[in-house]
Structures are given as C-alpha cells and as structure tokens.
C-alpha cells in the first residue's frame, strides 16, 4: 500500500493543525479519558532547540487526540532508562524518545519491544534495536550543506574550525563525517580543525579560542548545533572579528538548528547560515507515528505526502527523513545547494509565538 493511501485516516486527524494557535501550550494534552496515553521523554531542556520541541509537543498531542505523559532525561541514558520504566508503570501505549547515547539505549528498546510498546525515536537513530519509526532529518546533509556554503564563501581555500557534537550520537558522527568527506572531495584546499565538544557550549568556546589564538587566519566556523552559538559570538566579539560579511576580518559561521536567535544573527550579519532542523515537525511526526502504531498502521520506504522520504536503514528499521533547508540572508545557491532566506515565514524559528 502506498504511503498516502495507508495514512488517509491518520492524515485526516491532522487537518486541524491549522488551528494550532488556538491549542494550549501547557503540559497536558487531550482531556478525553478514551484518548490513547503516550509518553514523550524530552532529552534535555538546556538548549533553545529542545525547548522549542518541548513547546510544540503538547500542541500536537492535543490535535491528534492523545493523552500525554512527559519526562526529561537530561542527556543521561540511565535517566532515560528509568523514565521508560515509569512510562511502563503508567500504562502508556507508545513512547517517543530522543536518546543521545544511541548505543546504550539498546537494552531499553529490547524491553519495550518485548512488552509490545511501540517506540518512535526523534532526532537520533539507535545503533541497534528496533523502533516503529525514526523521525529525523538527513544529518549527513547538514554537514554537506555547511561544507558547500563555507567552501564557496572561502573560494576553496583557507582554514575552518568544526565544533563537533557528541560522537556517541549518530547525529554527531553523521555531521562530522559528511563535513570532512565533502571538504576532502570538493574543497581540498580548506584545512579543517575538528574539535570534539560533546554538545557542550563551554568546551566549544574554549577550543575555538585555542584554535583562533594558534591560527589567527581562521576564516570559517561550523557549529554542529546552536549549543555553541552564544560562546562563538562572544569570542568573535572579544577578538574584534564580529564584523559584517563585507569586512575582510569577517569569519564565516554556519550553525545547525534554525532557532530564532540564529535567524536574527543571520539578518544582522553576525553569522552567515544555518541548517534549519525542524523542531515543530519532530514533535508533530513523533506523535503522528505513535498514533499510527497504536492504530495498527504500517509503512514502507518511499516519498511521503509531507515533503520527506522514508528510507530503510536496516532490516526492521525505517526512518522518515524530514526536510532541513540551508538558511542564508539572501536565499542564494551555494555549490548546487539552494538556500532560503532567514526572513522566510515558513521557517519554524520565525513562528514561535
């Protein structure tokens, strides 16, 4: 059965999404006692991106007619495991989670599979184990888009710093490997300083400072997430490098996430680009697929009706790769990669009211 046909009943439940502005942004969801109960574990609440995801989740639960229980694992897989036990005891019919350690979550997934509790992982893909669906964007494309932008801006030569995420995460590995592979292939004249940060802004700032001191001719920075945004801007300002893109001292900065602060910084010429990771769609389709699992729906690889593609990662594991566009001030094309303007109202970061 084709994707569009298989989902016709579930998709109809989403027709009310245009009314989201009228939905409560509180922690509760649907009030009907007959509404299926699902659990959502928030991976952290110390970044603007994940706080946006947290804000969207109850809105979509309301729209889809789901009752909602939530926990926060605070970037700790042991807490995530304990939270899963709590959800089991509460009788949830499905769980959405975003495990940051994508290897260590395997035993928990096995337990949930044995109990026939479907799981949707958001943003990350488990290294092993089965889930009903993975909802994330193509993270290799993040690294490639950042590479294409910086390589074009630097005319294929110079030095850049890559502030890597956690390499225990599939996202950190995908973004890092793709950026390095792209630079080696398409811009061999660009030297990349890769810095492990474990998604820690303070560590990122310290390592960037060390690199800029040792190599004052660095002309580009790739931040694998907005976790490094504040520290990077502060450091560039301290060094007199936070200048407009037409100034010879300008350091080109590319981020990942698409939070409002990034879009504002692009408009102001403080950074140059980001890849907009869809916080709103992560919340929407995590719950969408949980409801589909509860309703007995199944899916196959192929194009969807929401501008994404479902791929089969391995036997028994499907991933819906959502769209994540390159965002720039001018919406130009960079080495074949089309961007959209930071002022575009289609971006979730411009619609958080």
Question: What confidence score (pLDDT) does residue 353 get?
Answer: 63
Model pLDDT for residues 276-331, shown as the tens digit of each residue? 999 999 999 999 999 999 999 999 999 999 999 999 999 989 999 998 999 999 99
**pLDDT of 161 strictly over 90:** yes
Question: What confidence score (pLDDT) does residue 141 get?
Answer: 95
**pLDDT of 7 strictly over 90:** no
Model pLDDT for residues 137-149, shown as the tens digit of each residue? 999 999 999 999 9
Q: Are 159 and 217 in contact (CB under 8 A)?
A: yes
Model pLDDT for residues 204-222, shown as the tens digit of each residue? 999 999 999 999 999 999 9
**pLDDT of 73 strictly over 50:** yes
Model pLDDT for residues 14-52, shown as the tens digit of each residue? 333 333 333 333 344 444 458 999 999 999 998 889 999
């Amino acid at each position: 059965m084709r994707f569009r046909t298989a989902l016709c009943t579930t998709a109809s439940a989403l027709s009310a999404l245009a009314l989201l502005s009228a939905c409560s942004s509180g922690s509760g969801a649907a009030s009907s006692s007959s509404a299926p109960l699902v659990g959502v574990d928030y991976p952290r609440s110390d970044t603007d991106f994940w706080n946006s995801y947290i804000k969207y989740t109850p809105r979509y639960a309301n729209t889809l007619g789901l009752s909602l229980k939530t926990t926060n694992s605070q970037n700790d897989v042991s807490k995530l495991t304990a939270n899963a036990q709590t959800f089991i005891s509460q009788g949830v019919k499905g769980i959405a989670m975003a495990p940051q350690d994508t290897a260590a979550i395997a035993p928990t997934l096995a337990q949930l599979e044995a109990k026939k509790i479907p799981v949707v992982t958001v943003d990350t893909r488990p290294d092993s184990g089965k889930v009903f669906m993975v909802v994330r964007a193509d993270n290799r494309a993040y690294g490639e888009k950042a590479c294409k932008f910086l390589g074009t801006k630097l005319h294929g030569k110079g030095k850049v710093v890559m502030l890597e995420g956690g390499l225990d995460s599939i996202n950190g590995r995908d973004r890092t490997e793709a950026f390095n592979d792209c630079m080696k292939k398409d811009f061999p004249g660009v030297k990349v300083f890769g810095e492990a940060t474990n998604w820690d802004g303070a560590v990122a700032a310290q390592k960037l400072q060390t690199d800029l001191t040792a190599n004052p001719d660095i002309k580009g920075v790739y931040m694998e997430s907005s976790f490094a945004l504040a520290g990077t801007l502060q450091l560039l300002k301290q060094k007199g490098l936070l200048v407009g893109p037409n100034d010879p001292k300008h350091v080109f900065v590319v981020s990942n996430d698409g939070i409002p602060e990034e879009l504002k910084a692009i408009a102001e010429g403080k950074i140059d680009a980001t890849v907009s990771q869809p916080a709103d769609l992560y919340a929407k389709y995590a719950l969408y697929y949980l409801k589909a699992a509860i309703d007995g729906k199944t899916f196959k690889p192929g194009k969807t009706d929401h501008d994404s593609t479902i791929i089969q990662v391995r036997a028994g594991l499907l991933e819906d790769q959502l769209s994540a566009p390159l965002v720039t001030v001018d919406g130009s094309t960079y080495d074949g990669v089309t961007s959209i303007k930071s002022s575009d109202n289609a971006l979730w970061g411009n619609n958080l009211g």
